[in-house]
Structure 1
């Protein structure tokens, strides 16, 4: 896996491109008009994408199809710290479809606790929590 970064202006706007040619723009969130995501924003996007791929894959293997999948991710950082890393990350999985409650819970748990590489890497630095909502109901 390899990524290439190119500076696009005289400030903080960068373009990153992977070996396949997929492009993602980065910028400093404190800029007046940021032209891309901040690096820390990309980390939250990464954990939501990684876990969502797992959930869809796990349910597909069980011949269960989701009508919709959304994930809200919130990262909590230590205010004023010089290294302002995430101390806690919370994910809210919002699923819709004809999926049994237990299977939805199990798919998310398997992703977060076993398969999501991003979550496994981040759990070394931050507490990761999650909740699962299926068809408007919070699952326990």
Structure 2
């Protein structure tokens, strides 16, 4: 599977990035998001997508999902992530064991973005919170 993209300099230290078949663009650098922060968000987006799809296939009554992510980077160059923590907040009457299984499948098998972070040597940890209708 081939993916093509382009980053074009706008001015100063601002760039516009787009993926050929994506139909949308993103501002990088000044006035936008840094590439390393975008990488972190990519991990969150990738695993969120996986967990949502897995829980739907499990026919769990998921009503919402938030993924919070934080990372620590090396001080020296290249300033790769050394630690990443992912917190999953799942809304609905979802069984905890099913939610944990969905997260494990995402982290161990499906999330390509997490795999890239792990291959660079980062320690990836995660936690889970289930918010049921009566918890709000």
Q: Does the TM-score normalized on the shorter chain lie above 0.5?
A: yes
Range that drifts further, 50-59 or 14-23: 14-23
| 1:76 and 2:76 correspond | no
**Aligned residue number for residue 92 of structure 2:** 97
Task: List, as ranges, runs of 4+ consecutive aligned residues in structure 1 with deviation greater than 4 Å.
Answer: none
What CA deviation, in whole Å up to 9, does each residue of 1:43-80 have, x standing for no partner?
A: 1110000001100110111122321111110010123x
TM-score, reference length from structure 1: 0.87
**Aligned residue number for residue 6 of structure 1:** 8
The structure with more helix, counted as a fraction of residues = 2
Given that 2:118 and 2:124 are in contact with CA atoms closer than 8 Å, whether structure 1 keeps it comes out as yes
RMSD of the alignment, in Å? 1.2
SS at match of 2:119: coil
**Aligned residue number for residue 18 of structure 1:** 19
Given that 2:60 and 2:95 are in contact with CA atoms closer than 8 Å, whether structure 1 keeps it comes out as no
SS at match of 1:35: coil
TM-score, reference length from structure 2: 0.89
User: CA offset at residue 87 of structure 1?
Assistant: 0.5
> Runs of 5+ in structure 2 lacking a partner?
none
Distance in 2 between residues matched to 1:19 and 1:78, nearest whole Å = 32
**Aligned residue number for residue 111 of structure 2:** 116
**Aligned residue number for residue 38 of structure 2:** 42
What CA deviation, in whole Å up to 9, does each residue of 1:65-124 have, x standing for no partner?
A: 321111110010123x12211101110111111111100111011101111011112101
